[in-house]
Amino acid sequence: MTMRKNLRGQRAAAAMAALVLTSGTAFAALDKCQKRLESEGAKLQKAMYAALQNCKDAIQKERVKGIATGLGTNCQPAGGCMATAAAYCEKQLQSVYDVAGTKVPPGSSAVAKFRAAIAKARTPSAAGVRECADADLDVTTGMGHLLSGNTPHSAAPPISGDAGTFLIDWHLFAIENVVIKQQLFQVPEMLNLLREAVEAEPGGKCSGGSNPSAPCAGASDCPGGTCTVSAASKKGTSCSNAPGVIDPTLQAYRPNLCRFGVECRDHACTLDTSGTCSQSAGPCDTLGPACPGGASDNCVPSQTYASLESAPLDFSFGTNPLRIGIGGRLLTQICRPGHASGVCETCPGGPATCACAADGDCQGTNAPPCNLFPGAGAGAAFATEPNVIYLINEPSRNLVLPPLPSPFNTLVDAVCLELVRSEGWCDCSGGNSQVNSTACQDHITSDNSGTDDCGGPLANASPDPFYLGTKNGALTVSTGGTSAAGDCVDLLTVTAKLLTNAADRGPDGLPCTDDDFVAPIATLTVPATTGTATAVIHAAVDAPGTCTIGGTPCIENANCDVANGGPGGSCSGAVIQSMFSQAADSGAKTSCANYEASNLSGLSFVGGAPLLNGPAPLGDSTIQVRLKCK
């Protein structure tokens, strides 16, 4: 079956495509930078996967041997030996994380190699060229990543240092998250296997006493004798290296095994779909029953919505902005490294005086060991920002749009959005990044020199898909403000699909399902923030004119020249605003403690983007989205 195409659908598609923040502008090193990120990420993923697989397989081997022989896993001859598997696991995980920083030479762990490789790609050569320049990574000009720093286009922590810092930190969690999920899919009991290795007791043998040659895990198993371990690989696991806590004759300190755990977890909230009926003025739910006043009594959302605003919209319908409700759930994965600090075993002064990073920090009345939360995660070895949590999303169909309000439903049957990915952060201490965003695009750049009215280079301008001869400036996202504790920014990438009428719905008769007769028309990347967001259009077209020769629709004289193969008269009647913008919208934050506890209530994200060449009656418009958790 073929898809129907018409002018309205084509204009709608182009309008949505104008929201794409990754402009596709070619840079000399963009392909090389992408290849570098992919190859180094693949190396790290392979190393993590191999270490976990080898560790799990070793544990399972000893477990099976102990069951098959009936001798258990305490290292009896011919039986299983969990201590041997634990020693092997520590070696495997150390090659990836090196939590204790003891690998020789320093920096030889897989995590350290990944960080060094990307940092090298960010370092200028003798000729001053970077393999991965800011423009190659940026949201508006490159691959679509967040940059660290304090420039007008930075939107990630830390606020000082190299622009690629956040990119490296975020990728470490994203790659580890993928590996752990795959391992759990294949071996659901993975975490139980690792726990058994953490709890592995020494595989010793009694010397002397009443039970000579009997298996033992400590002196109490050998009355009148001693418990000795014949090989280091048969020592039990200790998660502390403190004298008096670890028995070095029977135990080995295995920090990488002890610390390994899940560091990214899914969290979700239901979006607030409350609103007010436009005519009857009563409360309503955008996903609930219709307002009582008839077809024109729309439920206007007040908390979660997409807000469209344009001068033509106001002229045609007397409503501006037009709010479209959004429902469903806000999903995100929150990642935080296992605690870099722990608590002293004995701490009479209370929790505020208990923090420690090593056993030597537990002095005076605070007695060692320094307990570092076994199983909390080995990401402390990532050396990421200590007061930041990282946000990751995977493909999901979690946003629901209710039937479009009148009169917009006469133009489009349904708008469908699906989340592809996200890349974001939350500041847990304040002052770590910029949090406010402005998305700007110049529709007509012929009156500029060097840069467009949004400050973007004219070299990045692209041809207008409808008004031939016009060039649109690249979409530019600028940032500002300073984050406070609890502030977040999440760079959301979604696919958009427009159904122009009910016939587009496919055999099931439902919108936004897999059998729709239209394909996604654009991939949109929009920074969502708990700060403020707005969208701006320079040279905004309220209404096109016509060429004095030939009558071709136009917005500037250059369109007439192109249409007529040379001087083609002038463009008459076009209505152009020098600048058009929607009032800034504000998000809302709570706290990192709430986010990590999966309490997202009150959290709201806002984001905005310009929309060029929208279908009538929209024209040039701005769209701002607000997502609020109940």
Question: What SS3 state is found at 415?
Answer: strand
CA angle 55/57/58 to nearest 5° reads 65
At 280, list the tokens: 């009857």
Give the strand order in the sheet containing 225-228.
Answer: 215-216, 204-208, 225-228
509 to 396, 501, 513, 514, 552: CA distances (angstroms): 22, 11, 9, 11, 39
Nearest one of 599, 584, 363, 396 to 492, comparing CA atoms: 396
What are the E-state strand segments in 199-280?
204-208, 215-216, 225-228, 236-238, 251-253, 264-270, 274-277
User: What's the mean per-residue pLDDT of the chain?
Assistant: 88
Count of residues making up the chain: 630
Question: What SS3 state is found at 303?
Answer: coil
d(CA 560, CA 178): 53
For 243-301, how does the pLDDT look when each residue is reduced to its tens digit (9 = 90+)? 777 899 999 999 899 989 999 999 999 999 999 999 999 999 999 999 999 888 989 99
d(CA 333, CA 176): 13
Residue spans per domain, the chain? 30-200, 437-471+535-585
**268 exposure class (CB count in 10 Å sphere: 0-12, 13-18, 19+):** middle
Backbone angles phi, psi at 277, to 5 degrees: -65, 135
The pLDDT value recorded for residue 400 is: 85
pLDDT range class, residue 553, cuts 50, 70, 90: very high
For 141-187, how does the pLDDT look when each residue is reduced to its tens digit (9 = 90+)? 788 899 999 888 899 999 998 999 999 999 999 999 999 999 999 99
Q: Are 215 and 222 in contact (CB under 8 A)?
A: no
d(CA 326, CA 272): 9
Q: What does pTM read for this prediction?
A: 0.87
The pLDDT value recorded for residue 2 is: 33
For 421-447, how does the pLDDT look when each residue is reduced to its tens digit (9 = 90+)? 999 999 999 988 999 999 999 999 999
Q: Which of 15-19, 108-112, 399-403, 554-558 has the lowest mean pLDDT?
A: 15-19
Category of 464 on φ-ψ map: left (φ > 0), alpha (ψ -120 to 50) or beta: beta
**58 exposure class (CB count in 10 Å sphere: 0-12, 13-18, 19+):** buried
DSSP per-residue string spanning 330-388:
EEEEEE-PPPS-EEEEE-TT-GGG-EESSGGG--TTSEEEEE--TTS-SGGGG---TTE
Beta-bridged to residue 388, according to DSSP, are 427
For 373-399, how does the pLDDT look when each residue is reduced to its tens digit (9 = 90+)? 777 788 878 888 889 999 999 888 888
pLDDT at 571 over 60: yes
d(CA 23, CA 26): 9
Is the pLDDT higher at 342 or at 15? 342
The pLDDT value recorded for residue 567 is: 83
d(CA 231, CA 204): 9
Sign of the dihedral through C-alpha 23, 26, 30, 34: positive
